Chain A
């Protein structure tokens, strides 16, 4: 089962996406804040992380940096999932190796599910390819 860590402080967003993902047979784990995100990610080892940028008292980019600096979490694909659009934010997300930058109001939950599935599939394909070449 694909598990997704959703770093978000808006309960309505969490409820909506939890419903949609679970309906499609995926697991959605919510987290708020850097400490909660790192702890949950280490315990659950999600397949994908959806990361909001403007959180209660933290900036999502800082959490992204923490994730990419952590040796056990740096390979988990992170999709910046926010309604905040600016060139500066996109550049910074790219600089910290975010896999994608998605504006919430421009996608439906179903489209998001498809994106997550595509990323997980790509990742598994790369893993398989690298195993094959090492053999």
Chain B
């Protein structure tokens, strides 16, 4: 240690803690950054994250040199770089948040402005203006307060801009995305503000005599650990960066590292050796535990996959039975009628009788054509083969779909009301006919469950059948809600009803008028249109199906509209 102006640094506890804090944070940051980058090399967010933690780790290294070096030259060199690296950490945090939260890099204009802000630092850093002098004899040192204030001010402004970016983006996203934004912004802001406090805050407090030393500075590094914890949470819960990681694996890694770093805090040789032994034992136990858990998890996953396959197989058989029934029905009418017409005795009939039989054939042939269309739709949905997406008015599409099912509504004595809350037309990019079919399937499904309610109503068990359709704007999305007061859906079925071949427990096994794939087709079509579909329901009360689709607006195509500067 060169200087005594960090007088208390000469105390072993403070020194050990300084090393502990610096090495721990740098190692954890770099390990996490490398892990994320290796697992997700193509992701721009992963690259930016690695750059961020690398520059931050570099700052930590130079800061530690300033604290603990015995060389005046090294202290001066390292100290002069701290300001530049400090600002780079903030710039990279900004870029990372922009990509992770807003799904696009900073615009050229923003980058130019940031570059211009960085320019004075680049010019001043290699000179003596930032750290004018360091007296080796008295260990008196001075920083250029204008320089220090400038780069801390940039850091503060960028931290505020990041918070603003997160705030405005938050209200434009759906629930799941909002949770992710919360984690990232809280993590980044805690990290940046604690970094600001560590770097600038302690300097100001010492300068004005509120503190007598810089011992609080290393604590400011721990904000990065909060940020890393948020990143780990995002990976474990939401598979951020498209990485699959168990919580247990992350915890084991953290525990092993922590048990290793506690070696820095040991005061005697014996304690250090004991600590080393514990660290090695922890590492071995952790590896074995992770392996054992992985094997158990793989076994469980295989068992679940096996059960799933059996279920799919059963459902597939049921589907084949159903489709063959659907195809056989018109065939049996055709075959039966032809055999009657060809029979010598039975073919003697009057005009009215022959007309009736031939009309039966006609109806069944139309139905057969419809069944083949249904099967083709399923194939199209499976292969994702859509022609082209055009801007269409969603409100008009909803009305068209309702007109198609209106005769069925009347036939089954179910009332239908439509409410469109927006005055302006709501546009979406869609393949209109396909999306309309999906809507028809949803209305048809609501009608099926409500028609049963109508029968229950006639039997005095339930209220009259009603279906309400509403369309409104929610942020960047148009949301269609189809509410029925039918028999509702059991909680255990909700997660499955959009799957192929699934039939809810309270649905009668009747497929006379369809293949039973209506909801599956609807869900796949909505997803192909970058939308979401979900249901909320109470058994015996009714169900509401929601479809959310991104709104198409011409203006939104210009990224400059959303620029920070």
Interface of A toward B, CB cutoff 8 Å: 9-13, 15-17, 19-20, 23-24, 54-59, 82-86, 103-105, 108-110
Contact = CB atoms under 8 A, between A and B. Distances in A.
A10 B356 CA distance: 14
B462 to A, nearest CB: 14
Given A57-B508, A58-B510, A108-B335, 14 more contacts: A11-B360, A12-B363, A12-B364, A16-B333, A16-B340, A19-B357, A23-B349, A54-B325, A55-B512, A59-B510, A84-B321, A86-B321, A104-B328, A109-B336
B532 interface: no
A110 B346 CA distance: 9
Nearest to B339: A108
Contacts of B321: 84-86
A105 B331 contact: yes
A12 B333 contact: yes
15 contacts: A9-B512, A12-B333, A15-B360, A16-B340, A19-B353, A54-B325, A55-B512, A57-B455, A83-B324, A83-B332, A86-B317, A86-B318, A86-B321, A104-B328, A109-B339
A11 B353 CA distance: 14
B346 A20 contact: yes
Given A57-B452, A84-B321, A16 B357 contact: yes
Contacts of B455: 57
Contacts of A9: 512
Contacts of A105: 328-329, 331-332, 335
Given A9-B512, A19-B349, A54-B510, A110 B339 contact: yes
B54 interface: no
A93 B539 CA distance: 31
Nearest to B359: A12
Nearest to A55: B510
Given A9-B512, A59-B508, A103-B328, A16 B360 contact: yes
B42 interface: no
Interface in B357-374: 357, 360, 363-364
Interface residues of B, number: 33
B357 A109 contact: no
A104 B337 CA distance: 12
Contacts of A11: 360
B339 A57 contact: no
A104 B332 contact: yes
Contact of B512 (A56, A86, A109): A56
Contacts of A23: 345-346, 349
A129 B509 CA distance: 42
A13 B353 contact: no
For the complex of A and B, list the 8 residue pairs with the smallest distance between their C-beta atoms, beginning with the closest: A12-B360, A83-B328, A108-B339, A105-B332, A104-B332, A105-B328, A84-B325, A86-B321
Contacts of A19: 340, 346, 349, 353, 356-357
B388 to A, nearest CB: 39
Contacts of B335: 105, 108
Contacts of B333: 12-13, 16
In this complex, the member of B331, B336, B349, B364 whose beta carbon has the largest number of chain A beta carbons within 10 angstroms is B336
B324 A54 contact: no
A9 B509 CA distance: 15
Given A9-B512, A23-B345, A16 B325 contact: no
B510 A108 contact: no
A12 B356 CA distance: 8
Interface centre among A55, A57, A84, by most B CB within 10 Å? Answer: A84
Contacts of A16: 333, 336-337, 340, 357, 360
B244 interface: no
B73 interface: no
Contacts of A86: 317-318, 321
B511 interface: yes
A24 B335 CA distance: 19
B360 A109 contact: no
A108 B328 contact: no
A86 B316 CA distance: 13
A10 B331 CA distance: 13
A81 to B, nearest CB: 10
Given A15-B360, A19-B340, A83 B353 contact: no
B329 A10 contact: yes
B510 A20 contact: no
Interface in B219-267: none
A54 B353 CA distance: 27
B329 A20 contact: no
B433 interface: no
Contacts of B511: 54
Contacts of A108: 335-336, 339-340
A108 to B, nearest CB: 4
B558 interface: no
A24 B348 CA distance: 12
B562 interface: no
Nearest to B362: A12
A57 B325 contact: no
